[in-house]
């Protein structure tokens, strides 16, 4: 079976001086390999083809047979790494938290520990009959995010 850490190091070295970055590598017990990359700009099929050829040259199929798929993270793909969150800074996200809450809000900040998401919430103000809608910032550590995706609106 192909060593995941070795493959990860190789892919990261191939992407080092590009706008692309690694988001995920999956290797099944039957050596089916899926490599997912992303970039701050729209994805380019040529980068996937180039990376596929580099992997095939570095990891000889005569030594160990494998099936390889290299692709880019789609618009509806879950965010997996910090750089993907940075890509959507200032955009709306849908976040499922580890405690089961589903939040929709504007991504305000990303750091090494997590994100700040601005959500709209009804707040009852003293002396006012109807609740008003206010934007509040929620600090979400990455460890508390079960799934986050770009909140695509039509």
Between CA 116 and CA 99 the distance in angstroms is 17
pLDDT, tens only, 86-132: 999 999 999 999 999 999 999 999 999 999 999 998 888 888 788 88
pLDDT, tens only, 3-54: 999 999 999 999 999 999 999 999 999 999 999 999 988 777 899 999 999 9
Domains present along the chain, CATH in parentheses: 4-72 (3.30.300), 82-150 (2.30.30.100)
DSSP string, 128-143: -SS-EEEEEEEEEEGG
Predicted TM-score (pTM) of this structure: 0.85
Q: How far is CA 97 from the centre of its chain?
A: 15
The secondary structure element, H or E, covering residue 124 is none
pLDDT at site 74: 85
């Amino acid at each position: 079976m192909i060593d995941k850490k070795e493959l990860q190091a190789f892919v990261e070295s191939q992407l080092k001086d590009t706008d692309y970055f690694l988001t995920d590598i999956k290797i099944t017990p039957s050596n089916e390999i899926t490599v997912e990359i992303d970039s701050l700009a729209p994805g380019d099929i040529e980068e996937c083809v180039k990376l596929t050829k580099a992997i095939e040259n570095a990891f000889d199929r005569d030594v160990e047979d494998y099936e390889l798929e290299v692709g880019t993270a789609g618009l509806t793909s879950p965010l997996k790494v910090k750089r993907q969150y940075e890509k959507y800074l200032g955009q709306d996200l849908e976040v499922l938290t580890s405690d089961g809450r589903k939040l929709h809000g504007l991504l305000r900040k990303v750091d090494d520990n997590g994100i700040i998401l601005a959500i709209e919430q009804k707040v009852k103000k003293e002396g006012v009959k109807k609740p008003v809608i206010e934007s509040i910032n929620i600090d979400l550590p990455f460890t508390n995010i079960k799934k986050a995706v770009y909140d695509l609106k039509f």
